[in-house]
Chain A
Amino acid sequence: QQQVKQSPQSLIVQKGGIPIINCAYENTAFDYFPWYQQFPGKGPALLIAIRPDVSEKKEGRFTISFNKSAKQFSLHIMDSQPGDSATYFCAARGDIGADMRFGAGTRLTVKP
C-alpha cells in the first residue's frame, strides 16, 4: 500500500497553462515533502521541496502548496513550457535517515 498517493496519472496542457499535480499522505511523521522531475532515460532529480512549517514555497515557475491539516500537497507549474514535459513524482520523508516514499508519478505533456 503506497504511503503517498498521487494524481492524476497523466496530464496534458497547452503551452502557458498551469498544470496542477496533487498528493496526499497518511503518516504524520513525514516532515519533508519534495517533488522530483524525471526525463526519459534519466534518474529523478529534485525540483522543489517543502517542510510542514510553511504553507507555500515558490522557486521560479514552480510552486508547492501544503495543507498540513488535510495532509495534502500539490505542485503548480506556472506558464508551462514544452521543456517541462516529464514525469513528476511527489515524495515524503520523516525522521533521521528515514527512507523516502514516492507517489506513483504523473506524466506531464505540454503541447506547443
Chain B
Amino acid sequence: NAGVTQTPKFQVLKTGQSMTLQCAQDMNHEYMSWYRQDPGMGLRLIHYSVGAGITDQGEVPNGYNVSRSTTEDFPLRLLSAAPSQTSVYFCASSYASAGAGELFFGEGSRLTVL
C-alpha cells in the first residue's frame, strides 16, 4: 500500500535555484495539501487543492507554486529558492466530502537551501 509518496527525500539547493517536490497518492483522494515543518512552528499550510484544476493558498504561500492536473499528483515548485525555505516539507491527502476527517501524510522531503 503506497499511500502518499514524496520525492526526493533529501535535497540541497543553492540560493536562486528552482526545483519541484513531487507528491503522488493512490487513494483517489480529492483533497491534497503541502505543509512545511519548522522547529517550534508546527505544521504550516502552504497550498492545498480540493480537486483537479483547483488550488488555493494556505498560511505561507509566498515563494511556492502548485498545480493539480490529475487527482493523483500535486507537485510543489520553488521558483527561486531562499535560505528561509530550508525546512521539512510534507504532502498530505484526504477525501474532500463532508466529514472528510483523517489527513494522510507522506514521509517528508528535507530541503536545505544554502
Contacts and interface: CB of A to CB of B under 8 A. Distances in A.
Interface of A: 2, 6, 9, 32, 34, 41-46, 49, 89, 91, 93, 96-105
A105 B38 CA distance: 10
B102 A34 contact: yes
B53 interface: no
Contact of B98 (A2, A44, A96, A103): A96
Given A43-B90, A44-B90, A100 B103 contact: yes
Interface string B15-35: 000000000000000110101
User: Which of A41, A44, A100 has the most B CB atoms < 10 Å from its CB?
Assistant: A100
Interface string B39-80: 011111100101000000011000000000000000000000
B31 A97 contact: yes
Given A46-B103, A100-B33, 15 more contacts: A2-B42, A6-B42, A32-B101, A34-B103, A43-B106, A45-B105, A49-B101, A49-B102, A93-B101, A97-B97, A97-B100, A98-B100, A100-B103, A102-B35, A104-B42
Interface of B: 4, 30-31, 33, 35, 40-45, 48, 50, 58-59, 90, 92, 96-103, 105-108
A46 B105 CA distance: 9
A44 B33 contact: no
Given A103-B42, A105-B42, A97 B33 contact: no
A67 B54 CA distance: 35
